[in-house]
Amino acid sequence: MTANNTTTAPSTSPAPIQIDLSLLTLVEAAVIIFGMIVLGRIVRKIIIRKSKETSLTWIINEDTADIVFRMFVLGGIIWALYLLGIMSYGLGPTTVGNIAFAMGFFYFSYLIAKKSKDYMIMSSGKKARPETIVKAKVFYYLFITIAFFMALSFAGVSTELSALLAAAGITGIVLGFSAQTVVSNFISGVFMYFDKPLLIGDQVKIGELEGVVEDIRILSTRIRAWDGTLIRIPNEKLFNSNIVNFMRYPVRRVDVNIGIAYAADAERAVEVIKRVLDEIPLVLVEPEPLVYVDRLDDSSVVVAIRAWAPSEKWFEVRTRIIHNVKRALDEAGIEIPFPQRVNWFANELKIRIEEPPNKSGENGEGA
């Protein structure tokens, strides 16, 4: 008989987790949590007191103090659970402790990112500029994305997710080809952010569309037209259009043309118009307004008015100039003529005039 020599393979199953729930360990865990809470409150009070003495309020403030206090409390709880042995419990390729630490890290990263974004927006004033809002959002999402991948690494599951991320990348490429318009609008929105051709509240003309910029988003821009309707313009189309911004510079020129009769005194009309401009407070002295005879039209002598006004008051100044100039010319007896036309005929016209019949009788005889 041949001896049957068999060897037993070593067991690969993880060793059982030893959870220590003795009275001494429980007391130690409670002391750790209590001590971290007390220490967190002390640090919180120190930060709040320092926030009243420093100019770096965007870092040292009450919100930061609350976040630090929560970190101490959570840290104490995790420490106590490690002491009890609960955090060493295995979950697949990782442990409860790694997952808890990763979740805590991501949670506090989210709080820091959110508070930083809110502060960046609030520090720019009551009406935040669009570029400030975009910067704050970019910082927020970038911070959250980095914190997310770091949390995966801390949790010990980043290797297992690599295949899933690769599949997601391939899916993203396929979706990118099928959503070229969305991607194009997004890229155009990024270029618009750096180019800054318009801001919220600007009065603009884009192609044949005119209105006030209501909102600038990643994929589109919204314009409120003069008649109160909403116009949504994709950023790709906006980026490739001619944009006229009426509010980019602090002053804007008012152009008005007035026609006077050929029989009127043009020099006197210019003097009357200049006097009218001097009486309008919103017409700027520098640059100096210009009034001059511009051209000779078919029915009138055209006098050009070129006056500068604050951009936000342009429409008000223009309507006031037209109204006051019309009234001043009327008072000065300077005619603003209707269109007239003189017709010349190559041959002499023969006109037959028929006299109306006599009322007294059909044949012109009395009754």
- Let me know if 323 is exposed, middle or buried by CB neighbors in 10 A (0-12, 13-18, 19+): exposed
User: What structural domains and CATH numbers belong to the chain?
Assistant: 23-168 (no CATH), 188-245 (2.30.30.60), 251-331 (3.30.70.100)
pTM comes to: 0.49
What are the DSSP calls for 3-47, one per residue?
-----PPPP-SPPPP-----HHHHHHHHHHHHHHHHHHHHHHHHH
Residue 4 has pLDDT above 60, yes or no: no
pLDDT band at 167 (very low <50, low <70, confident <90, very high): low
Which pLDDT belongs to residue 147? 83
What is the rounded average pLDDT of the residues 33-62?
79
Give the rounded percent of residues in the chain with a pLDDT score beyond 90: 21
Residue 367 has pLDDT above 70, yes or no: no
pLDDT digits (tens, 9 = 90+) for 286-329: 889 999 999 998 888 999 999 999 998 999 999 999 999 999 99
Q: Are 256 and 322 in contact (CB under 8 A)?
A: yes
Min mean pLDDT across 8-17, 30-39, 157-166, 311-320 is at 8-17
pLDDT digits (tens, 9 = 90+) for 170-215: 555 555 554 567 667 777 777 777 777 888 888 899 888 889 988 8
Q: Report the alpha-carbon distance of residue 316 to residue 252 in Å, rounded.
A: 12
Give the rounded percent of residues in the chain with a pLDDT score beyond 70: 77
Residues contacting residue 12 through CB under 8 Å, at least 6 positions apart: none
pLDDT digits (tens, 9 = 90+) for 76-116: 887 887 777 777 776 666 777 777 778 888 888 888 888 77
